[in-house]
Chains A and B, each alone.
Chain A
Amino acid sequence: MSALGGRVAVVLLALWFALPLVPLGLWSVADRWPAGAALPTQWGWSGWQQAVAEGGLPALGRSAALGLAVAALATPLGALAGRALAWGRSRWHGVSAALLLLPVALPPFALAMGLDVLLLRLGIPGLVAVVGLLVAYAVPYTTYVLRSAYAVTDPQLEDQARMLGATGTQALRTVTLPVLAPALLAAAALAFLVGWSDYVVTVVIGGGRLVTAPVLVAAGASGLGNEPVVAVLSTLMVVPLVAAVLTAPLVARSLEASRTRR
Chain B
Amino acid sequence: MPRAPARGGARLLLPAVVVTGAVAGTATVSVLMTAFGLLPLVGAPTPGAAAFVALGGDLLLGLRESLVIATLSTLLAAAVGMATALLLVRSAGVRRRLGALTATVLSVPHLVGAATVGLLLSGGGLLPRWLGVAPTAWPELVGGGWPVAVVLELAWKESAFVALVVTASLSRRLTDLQEVAAVLGADARQRLLRVTVPLAAPALLASAGIAFLYAFGSYEVAWLLGRAYPEPLPVLAQRLFSSIDLAARPQAAAAALVGITVALAVAALAVPLLRRWGVGR
Give the interface of A toward B (CB within 8 A). Answer: 1, 6, 9-10, 13-14, 16-24, 26-27, 35-38, 73, 76-78, 80-81, 83-90, 92-93, 96, 99-100, 102-118, 132-133, 135-136, 139, 143, 155, 158-159, 162, 167-169, 171-172, 193, 196-197, 199-200, 203-204, 207, 214, 217-218, 220-222, 227, 230-231, 234, 237-238, 241-242, 244-246
Contacts and interface: CB of A to CB of B under 8 A. Distances in A.
A245 B252 CA distance: 38
Contacts of B28: 106, 110-111, 114
B217 A85 contact: no
Contact of B90 (A6, A36, A37, A162): A6
A102 B217 CA distance: 14
B30 A114 contact: yes
B242 interface: yes
Interface residues of B, number: 97
B118 to A, nearest CB: 6
B164 to A, nearest CB: 11
Nearest to B108: A238
Contact of B110 (A19, A104, A197): A197
A24 B34 contact: no
A158 B217 CA distance: 42
B26 A115 contact: yes
Nearest to B18: A77
B182 to A, nearest CB: 15
A161 to B, nearest CB: 10
Interface stretch (B47-55, B127-135, B173-181, B197-205): B127-135
Given A110-B31, A234-B116, 6 more contacts: A100-B20, A102-B20, A115-B27, A117-B34, A135-B19, A217-B111
A44 to B, nearest CB: 18
B115 A80 contact: no
Contacts, number: 298
Contact of A245 (B97, B103, B115, B234): B103
A164 to B, nearest CB: 12
Nearest to B41: A117
B119 A24 contact: yes
B185 interface: no
B259 A117 contact: no
Given A89-B8, A110-B259, A168-B5, A143 B27 contact: no
Given A84-B9, A113-B256, A99 B27 contact: no
A98 to B, nearest CB: 8
A92 B31 CA distance: 27
A85 B108 CA distance: 31
B72 interface: no
B2 A200 contact: no
A230 B17 contact: no
